[in-house]
Amino acid sequence: ETGSCCIAQLACCCGSAGCSLCCDCCPRIRQSLSTRFMYALYFILVVVLCCIMMSTTVAHKMKEHIPFFEDMCKGIKAGDTCEKLVGYSAVYRVCFGMACFFFIFCLLTLKINNSKSCRAHIHNGFWFFKLLLLGAMCSGAFFIPDQDTFLNAWRYVGAVGGFLFIGIQLLLLVEFAHKWNKNWTAGTASNKLWYASLALVTLIMYSIATGGLVLMAVFYTQKDGCMENKILLGVNGGLCLLISLVAISPCVQNRQPHSGLLQSGVISCYVTYLTFSALSSKPAEVVLDEHGKNVTICVPDFGQDLYRDENLVTILGTSLLIGCILYSCLTSTTRSSSDALQGRYAAPELEVSSFPFPPGLPLCFTDTEEQQQGKEGPRVIYDEKKGTVYIYSYFHFVFFLASLYVMMTVTNWFNYESANIESFFSGSWSIFWVKMASCWICVLLYLCTLVAPLCCPTREFSV
What would the 3-class secondary structure string for 232-261 be? HHHHHHHHHHHHHHHHCCHHHHHHCCCCCH
The CA-CA-CA angle for residues 267, 272, 277, to 5°, reads: 125
Least confident of 4-8, 19-23, 361-365: 361-365
Least confident of 123-137, 279-293, 360-374, 381-395: 360-374
Position 292 scores a pLDDT of: 66
The yes-or-no verdict on residue 435 having pLDDT over 80 is: yes
pLDDT tens for 241-289 read: 999 999 989 888 888 877 888 889 989 998 998 898 888 878 777 666 6
Q: Quote the mean pLDDT of the chain.
A: 76
- Own/partner pairs for 167-172, CB < 8 Å, 24+ apart? 167/441, 168/332, 168/341, 168/398, 168/401, 169/328, 169/332, 170/438, 170/441, 170/442, 170/445, 171/340, 171/341, 171/445, 172/331, 172/332, 172/337, 172/340, 172/341
Which residue would you say has higher pLDDT here, 417 or 105? 105
Which residue would you say has higher pLDDT here, 293 or 434? 434
The yes-or-no verdict on residue 97 having pLDDT over 90 is: yes
> What number is the average pLDDT over the span 157-183?
85
CB atoms within 10 A of CB 183: 19
pLDDT tens for 208-226 read: 999 999 999 988 888 777 8
- % of the chain surpassing 70 pLDDT: 65
Position 348 scores a pLDDT of: 44
Position 46 scores a pLDDT of: 92
CB atoms within 10 A of CB 414: 16
Give CA 361 to chain center in angstroms. Answer: 15
Position 105 scores a pLDDT of: 93
Instruction: Say what the pTM is.
Output: 0.75
Position 334 scores a pLDDT of: 63
Position 323 scores a pLDDT of: 73
pLDDT tens for 371-429 read: 444 443 456 677 677 778 888 888 899 899 989 988 888 887 877 776 666 566 666 78
**pLDDT-based confidence at residue 107 (cuts at 50, 70, 90):** very high
φ and ψ at 401, to 5 degrees?
-65, -40
> What number is the average pLDDT over the span 61-73?
68
Determine the Cα–Cα distance for residues 267 and 244; give it in Å rounded to an integer: 9
Which residue would you say has higher pLDDT here, 148 or 414? 148
Position 421 scores a pLDDT of: 62
The yes-or-no verdict on residue 156 having pLDDT over 80 is: yes
**Nearest-CA neighbor of 124 among 29, 250, 52?**
29
